Chain A
Amino acid sequence: MLDQSPAKQRVWLNRKLLFAGVILAVAVGFLIYNAMDGSAAFYMTVSEIESEGTNLHGQKVRVGGDVVDGSIVRGDIGEEIRFDVTDGTSEISMVYDGDVPDIFADHAEVIATGTMGPDGVFVAEELLTKCPSRFESDEGVSD
């Protein structure tokens, strides 16, 4: 058993190990493929959403842009908030009913995930402000 020749060992190594590796790779590939279905969302700009219009109805979309100055309308506490988001050329209205992130304000760069409603208002299920791990907010801002 211990004096097996290197050649024999390599055969073992090649056959069964390769087989196990392939099975594992296939399993991982399947897991990834399977999980992509449920959680993938299109990342679009505001302009792209506008030009797509009603084609997007019901499709989960992630959109990034800046909050339009003065557009935030807060209701009573616990009620949904409404605001507009722009990418510099186009604007869309959004409604969001959830926790407002710390850095949410006029000009804040937001990433919203949700669906386009039939009335042309984007219903955000998740609202993120620009990743807090980037602390370079002061650089490149001239005003």
Chain B
Amino acid sequence: MAQIGQGILTLALAMAILGIGLSIVGERRRIPELANSGLRALIGVTVLLILAAAVLMLSFVNHDFSLAYVSGRSSTDMPLQYVITAFYGGQAGSLLLWSMVAGILASIAFYRNRARFPRLVPYATATTLAVLSFLIFMLVVVATPFAVNHITPAEGRGLNPLLRDPGMMIHPPMLLSGFASFTVPFSIVVAALITGRMGSEWLKFIRNWALISWGILSAGIFLGGWWAYHVLGWGGYWAWDPVENVSVLPWFTVTAFIHSIIVQERRGMLRVWNVGLILASFVLSIMGTFIVRSGLISSVHAFALSDIGPYFLGFFVTTMVISIGLIIYRLPLMRATGGVESAASREAGFLLNNLLFVAIAFATLWGTLYPLVTEAVRGTAITVGIPFYNQVNGPMLLALLFLMGIGPLFAWRTTARDALIRATGIPLGVSIIAIVVILFLFGQPMAALGIGAAIFAAGAVVVEYYRGVRLRQKNAGDSVPVAIFRLARRDPRRYGGYIVHLGVALIAVGIIGSWFFQSERQVIVAPGETVDLAGYSITYDGLSTKQNADNSEVTANVTISEDGNEEARLGAKRFFYRGFEDQPTTRVAVTTVGFDDVYVMLLEWTDDQRANLRIFVNPLVTWIWAGGALYLFGMIVLAWPAPAVQPVRAAAPAKQGGMLGEPAS
């Protein structure tokens, strides 16, 4: 199997390099057949990568421990789903998955659009193939999944217990796919820069693919939070850990892009900025892949030891230099054709949104890389903790939330004051009342402001939908549900986007609730004892143990009740996996009662059944998951292909100046 796998990868490398040449020569000499062969080479490389992945997967399923990668992270007693998970439980498998996803997405994107954008596709193909060549080179030479053990062990080591969780089956591949997917928008931008076709062509090409990258990455980040909350067992879902930071960095820049691209389409502004955002997103996703896999940040001194580090650093620097060089070279072609005319305009709102997203990305990057910078400059690494991110990003995220409420109500160019007051009046009133009520009840000014901003943001969505529905009722005689459905179908980017906004508002309420109003208690209890926390009674019913196929488990049984009514019987567990006995993996007990999560974690226990429990009551966490689901739903609406007919522009908000000066699309 090892030779077959290695052979396939070597062939893929050769084909990728050949494909770069074919694409470039084909485009420069204007020989379409040659350029098409380049595209076919990309598809061929993708097929070979899928084959290599299949060979590796087969080795896992067959427990072929002659492969070091297989014996290092799987064993015969592991359930099949975790044997499959083990595929990307290491560097080589992750890189293989990354390359495969990048190849698949690029093949689809470029093959489907080869006739629509004949001048862009060849260079985009060459760019993707260049990225793939690097990764396949790594897979063949540096971090190969097909390395052979000198002596084939009888049994494998097994997978790290932290990865043996259903959430881990989808979170890492989703996040890696998100990173990998940025190869497509990046390649399109590079093709536009090289060919100098900086008009509206590349925008049409990139739009959906930027949305797809943003969608996959968003899903990956959500799943990560969900996994952290249910498995890592510290009562939270986000800790501004370097690994989390690098996953959210490209999300900040691509979210900025999907907003600012609208400004370029409508007003011809922000051309350089948009190109920069895509290049930054790709560079940051490379950094994400690289830091997650090399341990550059978490252990500062491991850099020199990591065998893939220097290669990735080289690739990273090369990509940056080429990207910046291309932007400077094409600067004359990227003059803005419009300008901001009023601060109360949609474009000004988008501009501020972009500045905030980029500022948050910068602050996060700063905090993440600070230990590296201080190590280099002062010889001593200085790290920053969670308070840094909360103090810096907190106010900016609050500003973004507020902007999300007012931005959609601004018109392009300039907004009439009366119209703006009419549009914002009700949401603003409701959110001010909410702020006052929360201040009066709980006295937390930041929480009150945050929830007020979230209500305001949700209000804007309601106002926009209300206007759209009213207009459809009047013009087309639609009933309310039909009108909502047709709005979302006719202009999915706008009305799907609003659903995402609503999801974000829910998530914001959940984050604020669980951050400011979390209750926590750590207790040592004997069986039968009851602990009270935030209105709940948690009764400890004693320990039980159980032997499973690949682990033994210890469970602290608890009964959760509220006002004497039993709500749930749960087990807070610890697992001892074979080969990882000194690493008792946590499985927290969580139950949702109304808006609260009661969250119990088993820390320690004794032979006489006493247990050390940590108990949290986390209000509103379920809102985060509900908001996440709504966000994902909005994303699907947004990316769903609109009908071919030109959308009828529904109720343009508070507009002054009519449709004059708008591009004819």
A residues lining the B interface (CB < 8 Å): 1-2, 4, 6, 9-10, 12-13, 16-17, 20-21, 24-25, 28, 31-32, 34-36, 38-45, 48, 62, 64, 76-78, 99-100, 102-103, 105-106, 109, 111, 113, 130-140
Q: In the complex, how many residue pairs between chain A and chain B have their CB atoms under 8 Å apart?
A: 160
Assess the B91–A136 pair: CB atoms within 8 A: yes
Query: With A106-B582, A132-B232, A133-B243 in contact, do A62 and B391 touch (Cβ < 8 Å)?
Result: no
Assess the B391–A35 pair: CB atoms within 8 A: yes
Any chain A CB within 8 A of the CB of B366?
A: yes
Chain B residues within an 8 Å CB radius of A130: 298-299
Closest to A103 in B: B583
Chain B residues within an 8 Å CB radius of A17: 340, 351
Closest to A133 in B: B243
Query: With A41-B382, A43-B382, A43-B383 in contact, do A138 and B157 touch (Cβ < 8 Å)?
Result: yes
Query: With A42-B382, A133-B243, A135-B90 in contact, do A77 and B524 touch (Cβ < 8 Å)?
Result: yes
- Distance in angstroms from B149 CB to nearest chain A CB is 12
- Interface 0/1 of B475-509, CB less than 8 Å to A: 00000000000000000000000000000000000
* Interface hits, B582-629 → A, CB 8 Å: 582-586, 603-606, 610-612, 614
Assess the B243–A131 pair: CB atoms within 8 A: yes
- Interface 0/1 of B153-164, CB less than 8 Å to A: 000010011110
The stretch from B199-207, B355-363, B538-546, B645-653 touching chain A is B355-363
Assess the A31–B363 pair: CB atoms within 8 A: yes
Any chain A CB within 8 A of the CB of B72?
A: yes
Interchain CB contact (< 8 A) of B299 among A100, A103, A109: A109
Assess the A39–B380 pair: CB atoms within 8 A: no
Query: With A13-B340, A77-B606, A77-B612 in contact, do A134 and B162 touch (Cβ < 8 Å)?
Result: no
Chain A residues within an 8 Å CB radius of B233: 102
Chain B residues within an 8 Å CB radius of A45: 301
Any chain A CB within 8 A of the CB of B396?
A: yes
Query: With A35-B388, A43-B380 in contact, do A137 and B160 touch (Cβ < 8 Å)?
Result: yes
Any chain A CB within 8 A of the CB of B14?
A: no
Query: With A132-B232, A135-B73, A136-B91 in contact, do A32 and B583 touch (Cβ < 8 Å)?
Result: no
- Determine the main DSSP class of A at the interface with B: mixed
- Distance in angstroms from A112 CB to nearest chain B CB is 12
Assess the A134–B295 pair: CB atoms within 8 A: yes
* Closest 8 pairs between A and B when the two form their complex, measured CB to CB: A9-B339, A105-B582, A131-B298, A43-B381, A35-B391, A133-B243, A39-B388, A77-B604
Q: In the assembly, what is the distance between CA of A13 and CA of B336, in Å? A: 11
Assess the B89–A39 pair: CB atoms within 8 A: no
* Interface hits, B383-399 → A, CB 8 Å: 383-388, 391-392, 395-396
Chain A residues within an 8 Å CB radius of B657: 1-2
Chain B residues within an 8 Å CB radius of A138: 72-73, 157
Chain A residues within an 8 Å CB radius of B524: 77-78
Chain B residues within an 8 Å CB radius of A42: 380-382
Closest to A74 in B: B604
Chain A residues within an 8 Å CB radius of B337: 6
Any chain A CB within 8 A of the CB of B660?
A: yes
* Interface hits, B298-313 → A, CB 8 Å: 298-301, 305
Assess the A24–B583 pair: CB atoms within 8 A: no
- Distance in angstroms from B65 CB to nearest chain A CB is 13
Q: In the assembly, what is the distance between CA of A78 and CA of B355, in Å? A: 48
